């Protein structure tokens, strides 16, 4: 079993030196679950078989992690891979972003054998240097997935992909720079979205049946909080409709009240580049956190030996909402 445990800290000024290795921590804590990866991203929990999935984007690797046995399995695709989303079909079928294409995958996540891959659609043909970045399924199984171009360009979009439009996915938001985290409130009436360089989280009115979004408003802006640094990256939401946002280059996850717009907690993570978050565990009360080290130089890697690892935050006193499984595969594009 591999893990390193860190005390939970609520901070106003985030410093990685606040973490000390401890064998026993009372109350909430952060635990390192794996060895580091270069660019960990896109955690998602499958409650049907109690596994967490995530990716190492540039390595093309998709991982499954069993928090009970701590077994880590993986497959590798040829290209940049993110996100990975379980499907409604069964627990061996997934969709994933592979460069600019959405692919269907058949894989037993308790092993390391890739059984089948098929391309479902390809987007952004006018932007060949872009790739998929982050995405999730909504409560009806429609896929909301965004792209990113070379950083600091305006070549990205957020797409809505369904069975009906899969050959020509709908552009929902454009232009964007780095399309990132998405989330929905418990009632499925609000849609939360991050375009990272804006340093903001926006909320839209959301119609689940039509997939229409409208009336954008800012619910969180990093620039309004002197105690925070970095850009918002991936995010999730809890049962009380508070969003939990990963701060890339900010070394933290923040909890934001979407009604009062207050920052309720700042959870320091022992990695400056925190990439995404997802609820999981038997009671959906464990916050899994991915991170990266690809931008760190040799000295920064020495100072942040856990950077790039998968982490878990325990005992937070709340829980997440169930994962939605994607439903965009037809028998004609990925037969059983």
Residue 140 lies in a domain: yes
What pTM was estimated for this model as a whole? Answer: 0.92
pLDDT exceeds cutoff 90 at 333: no
Instruction: Look at residue 154 in the predicted model and tell me its pLDDT.
Output: 86
* 164 labeled binding residue: no
Please tell me the predicted confidence (pLDDT) of residue 2: 42
- Cα angle value 111/114/115 (rounded, 5°): 110
What is the DSSP track for 220-260?
EEGGG-TT--SEEEEEEEBTTSEEEEEEETTTEEEEEETTT
Q: Reply yes or no on whether the pLDDT at 219 is more than 70.
A: yes
pLDDT at 70 over 60: yes
pLDDT of amino acid 331: 79
In a domain, 273, yes or no: yes
Q: Is 333 domain-assigned?
A: no
Tokens of 275: 């990439």
Report angle CA 334, 139, 46 to the nearest 5 degrees.
65
| Residue closest to 278 by CA, chosen among 88, 54, 122, 102 | 54
Give the pLDDT of residue 255.
98
213 strand-pairing partners: 206
Task: State the pLDDT confidence band at 20, using cuts at 50, 70 and 90.
Answer: very low
Asked whether residue 176 carries a pLDDT value surpassing 60, the answer given is yes
Q: How many domains does the chain have?
A: 1
Whether 126 is in a domain gets the answer yes
Q: Check the annotation: does 151 bind a ligand.
A: yes
Q: What pLDDT is attached to residue 79?
A: 98
Give the CATH number of the domain where residue 176 resides.
2.120.10.30
pLDDT at 28: 75
Instruction: Exactly one of 138, 195, 233, 238 is catalytic; name it.
Output: 233
Give residue 27's pLDDT. Answer: 63
Q: How many helices (H) and strands (E) does the chain have?
A: 1, 25
202 among annotated binding-site residues = no
Give mean pLDDT, residues 168-184. Answer: 97
Q: Partners of 174 in the beta sheet?
A: none
Q: Please indicate, yes or no, if residue 149 is contained in any of the structural domains.
A: yes
Domain-embedded: residue 335: no
For residue 23, pLDDT over 60 is answered with no
The annotation status of 131 as a binding-site residue, yes or no, is yes
Residue 240 token pair: 């009380």
Question: What would the two tokens of residue 289 be?
Answer: 């956190």
- Asked, for residue 332, whether it belongs to a domain, the answer is no
Q: Is the pLDDT of residue 52 over 70?
A: yes
Enclosing domain of residue 213: 4-314
Please provide the average confidence, as pLDDT, over all residues in the chain.
Answer: 92
Is 80 catalytic? The answer is: no
Query: Which among 284, 285, 288 has a CA at the least distance from the CA of 315?
Result: 285
pLDDT category at 303 given cuts 50, 70, 90 is very high
- 326 found inside a domain: no
């Amino acid at each position: 079993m591999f893990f390193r445990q860190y005390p939970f800290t609520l901070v106003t000024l985030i410093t990685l030196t606040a973490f000390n290795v401890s064998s026993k921590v009372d109350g909430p804590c952060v635990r390192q679950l794996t060895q580091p990866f270069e660019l960990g991203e896109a955690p998602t929990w499958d409650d049907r078989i109690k596994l967490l999935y995530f990716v190492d984007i540039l390595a093309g690797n998709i991982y499954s992690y069993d928090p009970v046995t701590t077994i880590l399995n993986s497959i590798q695709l040829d290209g940049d891979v993110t996100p990975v989303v379980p499907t409604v079909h069964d627990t061996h079928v997934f969709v994933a972003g592979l460069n600019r294409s959405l692919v269907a995958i058949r894989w037993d996540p308790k092993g390391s054998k890739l059984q089948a891959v098929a391309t479902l659609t390809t987007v952004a043909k006018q932007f060949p240097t872009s790739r998929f970045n982050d995405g999730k399924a909504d409560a009806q199984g429609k896929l909301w997935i965004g792209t990113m171009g070379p950083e600091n360009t305006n070549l990205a979009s957020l797409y809505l992909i369904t069975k009906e439009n899969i050959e020509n996915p709908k552009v929902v938001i454009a232009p964007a720079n780095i399309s990132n985290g998405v989330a929905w409130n418990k009632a499925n009436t609000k849609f939360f979205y991050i375009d990272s360089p804006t340093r903001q989280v926006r909320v839209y009115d959301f119609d689940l049946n039509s997939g229409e979004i409208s009336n954008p408003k800012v619910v969180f802006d990093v620039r309004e909080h002197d105690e925070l640094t970095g850009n918002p990256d991936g995010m999730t939401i809890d049962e009380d409709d508070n969003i939990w946002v990963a701060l890339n280059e900010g070394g933290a996850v923040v909890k934001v009240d979407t009604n009062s717009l207050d920052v309720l907690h700042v959870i320091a993570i022992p990695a400056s580049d925190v990439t995404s978050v997802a609820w999981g565990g038997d009671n959906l009360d464990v916050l899994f956190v991915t991170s990266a080290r690809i931008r760190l130089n040799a000295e920064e890697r020495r100072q942040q030996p856990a950077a790039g690892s998968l982490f878990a935050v325990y005992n937070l006193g709340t829980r997440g909402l169930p994962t939605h499984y994607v439903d965009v595969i037809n028998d004609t594009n990925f037969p059983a």
